[in-house]
Copies of this chain bind each other. A is one copy, B any other.
Amino acid sequence: MTTPTLLVLDADPPPRLGRLTGRARIEHADAATLAGRLPRADVLLVWDVTSSAVREAWPGDGPRPRWVHTASAGVDHLMCPALTASATVVTNARGIFDQPVAEYVAALVLAMAKDLPRTLELQRERVWRHRETQRVAGTRAVVVGSGPVGRAIVRALKALGVTTALVGRTPRTGVHGPDDLDRLIARADWVIAAAPLTEQTRGMFDARRFGVMQPSARFVNVGRGQLVVTEALADALARRWIAGAALDVFASEPLPSGSPLWGLPGLVVSPHMSGDTVGRLDELAAQFVEFYTRWEAGRPLANVVDKRRGYVPGH
């Protein structure tokens, strides 16, 4: 048996794959060289998860890897009709980001309840201005997205005494279906978007939905930028249909410095980092090595993405 070729769509720093020495012929590619190197790869590791190079290169000529793994939870940056139609298996990094994203959402919820952004502004102005803040315990949150990240967010918010409701594509025990969404967000203090980007979720947070929310409600997006109609959110904040929002993801990343979102009152902007805790690169590389070991042995892979749906189904 020949040594398989593992092609890595690289990012800086590269993955630590020392454990694969002798077990894979590792090649590297960037956006410019990916198309030329794809045909001789058995496996593709998408380490640069900010790139859409796979989606662009995939439809070209020649053989294609039998397996693609992305070091991300979302797969929207690589999926294309040709990849969906192919026999190639796609896996993702489900599991690595759950707890970090949940903590990040808890941080945003608490910071908004305690008016921390305003406190930091007043500190800069050297102004002592006492305010009353909100209790988080006893408030209500709706978490949209019933995958491991959404469920971890529910656990973190429950631990703070928040009453939570989880909304997913398919209603089941402990998970509401999309039909309940409007009723739930109409009485929520916190609406948290943690869904994958699919045809069903694209633009789901639009003017109508922000209109349904309470004026005291706050919105947090840690899923994908395209879940939100950005202009509708900006408008909802300007008209005070909702009290505030925090976005960690954007339709176009990095967010251009000219975007009006940077300066929108009541909006916290962060650079797609909710899941990115110290040490996660090594966890992502170790997860891939574990999956490679299964693949090598002909055992079933974990985290296999339903390519039509755009996420790993189940639970």
Contact = CB atoms under 8 A, between A and B. Distances in A.
Nearest to A258: B126
A159 B160 CA distance: 7
Contacts of A107: 107, 110-111, 113-114, 116
Nearest to A159: B159
A268 interface: yes
A276 interface: yes
Contacts of A257: 126-128
B110 A276 contact: no
Contact of A133 (B104, B110, B122, B161): B104
Interface stretch (A70-78, A134-142, A175-183, A233-241): A134-142
Contacts of A56: none
A270 interface: yes
A269 interface: yes
A263 B127 CA distance: 12
Contacts of A160: 103, 106, 156, 159
A137 B98 CA distance: 12
Nearest to A280: B132
Interface residues of A, number: 51
Nearest to A135: B277
Contacts of A116: 107-108, 111, 116
A278 interface: yes
Contacts of A104: 114, 133
Given A110-B110, A262-B123, A134 B277 contact: yes
A236 to B, nearest CB: 19
Interface of A: 99-100, 103-104, 106-108, 110-111, 113-114, 116-117, 119-120, 122-123, 126-137, 156, 159-161, 253-255, 257, 259, 262-263, 268-273, 276-280
25 contacts: A100-B133, A100-B135, A103-B113, A103-B136, A103-B137, A107-B114, A107-B116, A110-B111, A111-B111, A119-B268, A119-B270, A123-B270, A126-B257, A126-B259, A126-B262, A128-B254, A128-B271, A129-B271, A130-B271, A132-B273, A133-B273, A133-B276, A133-B278, A134-B278, A135-B278
